[in-house]
C-alpha cells in the first residue's frame, strides 16, 4: 500500500516552527511512521540536501499535489488538523489533482475565492487562478489523456487573448502619416508668433546654419566687440595685438615719459612703480624658469640661477627690484653692478633691500658664473643716456651675456637706432610698448597700475587689455 504513493508530489505542513515542505515521495516506512521526499522545497526555496525524512509526529498536514504512480488505488489528504477535509480519488478515476507549475507556489493556499472580474479585464493565470477553482475541483481529461496543448492555449488566451483587436495586424503607414504634416506651415506659424511677441525668429532648418562655440565662449549674443579700444595722439611706428585680438598701439618715448610724470604727480611715485615693475618682471621670470613644475619642495636641490646685469640708472633699479623678489622665491641671483660710477637714489635704496635677501653682488665681469646660467635679465640700457654703450664695463657685460648661451630677458628696453647690444629672446615693456626693433625678441607688456584718468589727461583713450593678468604677450599686427 505504501509503495503506491512513491513518485507522487506532496506538500507537508510541519507547523510554524519547521514550515512547509514540498517534494516527490521517495520512500514510506510504515513501521517507523516516516516519509521521505526527494528534491524537497522548504517554504518555496529549494533545500540544499537531496532528500528529507519526516516523522509522523512532526507532520501537521499532508496534501497530495500530483499522483505520479498509476497503480495507486486512492489519493487522499491526510491531516492531523481537525479542520482539514480529506480528498479521495478512486483508482482509475479519469481525474487528477491540478498540477502546479512552480514548487514555490506550493505553500500558497488561498482557499475558495469567488471574485467578479470586470468586463474587459484580463485575468492572469497565476497561482491564485489555479487555486481559486477550489479544493474539490479537478481538471478534466480528454479520452483518458491530459489535454496539455488545449490547457496551454487556454492559459495563453486568459493572459493575452482578451481585448486584442484583430485590426492591428495591418501595418502602420508611416510615410502616409508623415505626408499629412505640413512642416512649412508649422514653421511659418512659429515665426509669426515669435514676431508678434517680439522674440527673435529661429527660421527654418534650411535657412539656419548652426554656430559652433568654443568651451570658453559665451553663447549669448552681446554687443559687437571693439578691438581698437586704445587710441593715442602720437602713435609709434608699430602696432601690436593681444591673444584675444585687441589692438595695442606703440607710443613714442616722449609720450611715455610724460605719462609717467603725470602718474607721479597723481601719487604713483617712482618707488611704487619700481615695486610693481619688479613684481611683474619676477613673475614672468619665474614662469620662464619652469613655474610650478620646477619650484616645488622636492626640487630644492636644483635651484635655478639667474644673472642680473644692471646699470646705474632707473632701469637698473627695476632689475634690482626684480632680483630681490626672485631671491625671495629661492632663486640664486647673481647681481652685476659697477661700483665706480655714480649711483642714483633709487638704485641705492633697492640695492640695500637686495643685500638683505642673501643674493650675490659682483662688480667685476670675471666674478660672474663661468658655466651657463638658467636666465639672464638685461637691465644695462637706459632711455636717457645712450653713451653708456661706449663704456668698457658695458661692453664686457654685453659680451659675457652673448657668450653665455643662456636666454635673455630684457627689462624695459629703450628704442635705440644702433640696435640691441645684447640679443634678447623676450622683452618686457611697461604700460604701453615702445616701437622696439627685431633684436628685442618677443614683446610682453606689464601693468604698473596707472589709472585710466591719467591716460586721458595725456590724450590717450585707454581700456585695459590685461584682463585677468598683469603680464600679457604682444604680437606684431
Q: Which residues fall within 8 angstroms of residue 57, CB to CB, at 6 or more apart?
A: 33
Longest dimension (CA), the chain: 135
Tell me which H or E stretch contains 264: helix 253-265
Q: Is the pLDDT of residue 122 over 90?
A: no
Long-range contacts, 115-122 (Cβ 8 Å, 24+) = 120/162, 120/163, 121/162, 122/158, 122/159, 122/160, 122/162, 122/163
Give the C-alpha separation, 86 to 63, whole Å.
9
Reported confidence tier of residue 236, pLDDT bands at 50, 70, 90: confident
Q: Mean pLDDT throughout 366-387?
A: 90
Q: Between β-strands 247-251 and 360-362, what pairing exists: parallel, antiparallel or unpaired?
A: unpaired
| Per-residue pLDDT at 119 | 43
Please tell me which residue, 166 or 216, carries the higher pLDDT value. 216
Please tell me which residue, 208 or 376, carries the higher pLDDT value. 376
| Per-residue pLDDT at 477 | 78
| Per-residue pLDDT at 445 | 96
Q: Is the pLDDT of residue 77 over 90?
A: no
Q: Identify the structural domains of the chain with CATH numbers, from first to last.
A: 2-145 (2.30.30.100), 235-476 (3.40.50.10260)
Which residue carries 571693439 as its cell?
226
| Per-residue pLDDT at 134 | 46
Reported confidence tier of residue 285, pLDDT bands at 50, 70, 90: very high
Please tell me which residue, 7 or 71, carries the higher pLDDT value. 7
Q: Is the pLDDT of residue 280 over 50?
A: yes
Q: Mean pLDDT throughout 376-393?
A: 88
Nearest 10 degrees: Cα torsion 363, 444, 345, 354: -50
| Per-residue pLDDT at 162 | 56
130-144, 232-246, 289-303 — which is least confidently predicted? Answer: 130-144
Cα radius of gyration rounded to whole Å, the chain:
50
Q: Between β-strands 95-96 and 45-46, what pairing exists: parallel, antiparallel or unpaired?
A: unpaired
Q: For 419-461, write each residue's pLDDT tens digit.
A: 678 889 999 999 999 998 888 899 999 999 999 999 999 999 9
Extract the C-alpha cell encoding 8. 507522487
Burial 340-378 (b: 16+ CB within 10 A, else e): eeebeebbebbbeebeeeebbbbeebeebeeeebbbbbb
313, 384 contact by CB (below 8 A): yes
Amino acid at each position: 500500500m505504501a509503495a503506491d504513493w512513491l513518485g507522487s508530489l506532496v506538500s507537508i505542513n510541519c507547523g510554524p516552527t519547521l514550515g512547509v515542505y514540498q517534494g516527490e515521495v521517495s520512500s514510506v516506512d510504515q513501521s517507523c511512521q516516516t516519509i521521505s521526499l526527494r528534491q524537497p522545497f522548504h517554504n518555496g526555496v529549494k533545500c540544499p540536501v537531496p532528500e528529507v525524512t519526516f516523522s509522523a509526529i512532526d507532520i501537521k498536514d499532508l496534501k497530495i499535489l500530483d499522483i505520479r504512480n498509476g497503480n495507486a488505488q486512492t489519493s487522499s489528504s491526510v491531516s492531523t488538523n481537525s479542520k482539514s477535509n480529506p480528498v479521495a480519488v478512486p483508482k482509475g478515476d479519469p481525474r487528477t489533482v491540478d498540477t502546479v507549475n512552480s514548487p514555490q507556489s506550493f505553500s500558497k493556499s488561498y482557499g475558495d475565492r469567488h471574485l467578479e472580474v470586470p468586463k474587459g479585464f484580463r485575468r492572469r493565470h497565476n497561482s491564485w487562478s489555479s487555486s481559486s477553482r477550489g479544493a474539490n475541483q479537478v481538471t478534466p481529461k480528454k479520452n483518458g489523456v491530459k489535454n496539455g496543448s488545449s490547457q496551454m492555449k487556454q492559459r495563453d488566451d486568459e493572459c493575452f487573448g482578451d481585448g486584442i483587436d484583430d485590426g492591428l495586424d495591418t501595418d502602420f503607414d508611416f510615410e502616409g502619416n508623415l505626408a499629412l504634416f505640413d512642416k512649412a506651415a508649422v514653421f511659418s506659424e512659429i515665426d509669426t508668433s515669435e514676431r508678434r511677441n517680439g522674440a527673435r525668429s529661429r527660421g527654418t532648418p534650411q535657412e539656419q546654419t548652426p554656430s559652433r562655440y568654443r568651451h570658453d565662449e559665451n553663447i549669448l549674443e552681446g554687443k559687437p566687440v571693439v578691438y581698437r579700444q586704445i587710441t593715442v595722439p602720437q602713435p609709434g611706428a608699430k602696432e601690436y595685438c593681444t591673444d584675444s585680438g585687441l589692438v595695442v598701439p606703440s607710443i613714442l618715448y616722449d609720450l611715455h615719459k610724460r605719462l609717467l610724470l603725470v602718474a607721479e604727480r597723481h601719487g604713483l611715485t617712482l618707488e611704487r612703480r619700481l615695486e610693481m615693475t619688479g613684481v611683474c618682471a619676477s613673475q614672468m621670470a619665474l614662469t620662464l624658469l619652469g613655474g610650478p613644475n620646477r619650484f616645488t619642495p622636492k626640487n630644492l636641490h636644483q635651484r635655478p640661477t639667474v644673472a642680473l646685469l644692471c646699470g646705474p640708472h632707473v632701469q637698473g633699479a627695476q632689475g634690482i627690484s626684480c632680483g630681490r623678489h626672485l631671491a625671495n622665491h629661492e632663486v640664486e641671483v647673481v647681481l652685476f653692478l659697477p661700483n665706480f660710477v655714480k649711483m642714483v637714489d633709487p638704485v641705492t635704496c633697492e640695492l640695500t633691500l637686495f643685500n638683505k635677501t642673501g643674493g650675490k653682488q659682483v662688480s667685476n665681469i670675471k666674478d660672474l658664473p663661468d658655466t651657463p646660467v638658467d636666465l639672464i635679465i638685461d637691465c644695462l640700457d637706459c632711455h636717457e643716456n645712450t653713451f653708456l654703450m661706449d663704456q668698457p664695463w658695458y661692453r664686457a657685460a654685453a659680451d659675457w651675456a652673448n657668450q653665455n648661451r643662456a636666454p635673455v630677458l630684457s627689462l624695459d628696453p629703450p628704442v635705440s637706432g644702433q640696435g640691441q647690444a645684447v640679443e634678447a629672446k623676450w622683452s618686457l615693456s611697461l604700460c604701453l610698448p615702445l616701437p622696439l626693433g627685431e633684436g628685442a625678441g618677443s614683446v610682453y607688456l606689464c601693468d604698473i597700475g596707472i589709472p585710466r584718468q591719467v591716460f586721458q589727461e595725456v590724450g590717450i583713450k585707454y581700456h585695459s587689455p590685461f584682463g585677468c593678468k598683469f603680464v600679457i604677450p604682444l604680437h606684431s599686427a
